[in-house]
Amino acid sequence: MAQLELVHPTPLDLTSAEPRGDHLVISQMVSDGARVLDVGCGDGALLQLLKRECNAKVRGIEIDPNKAHRCVVRGMSVVQGDAERDLGEFPSGAFEYVVLSRTLQHFRRPQAALKQAGRIGQQVIVSIANAGRFDRRAEMLTKGRLGPSEHLQRYTVRDFADLAREMHFTIERAVPLTRGNAGAPFAKTIWRANWFAEEAVFLLTP
């Protein structure tokens, strides 16, 4: 696990793009001044948002060296490494929040990664694409299969909620999103989000 040093004395301001919908929801879940680890942080857009909006002490881990370099350009602290292997090197309780934003479904062993996130963070925030949305169900009925996906794992909102509970996480809050817009939060009554949301953001407590 290699730490990338900050090589730009004046970080570039890359905030002109509109933040992703799940990023905005996540920023509303993070408390002011919190320590946050973003797993699969991409180009650092969420890290920058949390630092700006929440005064958070942020750190990222990213496997793609080009994306990790983009984090450095933004002035963010990033570790270039494989999260599925390297999360075990972080000490327990090191962060108030561990975030997996559209990340967990790319892992070969998502449950192991989620367990590590729960060990490292006091709370875990996960955003997932919803495979149970009505149009995906219609595709399954008419074509007999789901179309190609970038994800190794596919979850419906209900699938992920059940997985979290099976792993003894408490769902503190969950927010559905469609076209980047957040809907009414849910926790126990998930049928509407399961049918209509394109994605959902979960706030979990181990």
The domain in which residue 51 lies consists of 18-205
- Give the mean pLDDT of 177-191: 79
Supply the CATH number for residue 73's domain. 3.40.50.150
Query: Is 32 a domain residue?
Result: yes
- Residue 53 tokens read as 């909006």
Whole-number pLDDT of residue 8 = 41
Query: Is 10 a domain residue?
Result: no
Q: How many structural domains does the chain have?
A: 1
Give the count of alpha carbons within 13 A of 80, CB side only: 15
Query: Is 8 a domain residue?
Result: no
Query: Is 5 a domain residue?
Result: no
Residue-averaged pLDDT of the chain = 85
Question: 146-158 pLDDT, tens per residue?
Answer: 555 556 678 899 9
- Give the mean pLDDT of 14-27: 83
Question: 45-60 pLDDT, tens per residue?
Answer: 999 999 999 999 999 9
Name which of 172, 177, 180 is nearest 197 in CA terms: 177
Whole-number pLDDT of residue 196 = 83
Query: Is 13 a domain residue?
Result: no
Beta bridge partners of 95: 121
Residue indicated by tokens 């709370």: 123
Query: Is 11 a domain residue?
Result: no
Phi, psi of 167 (to 5 degrees): -90, 10
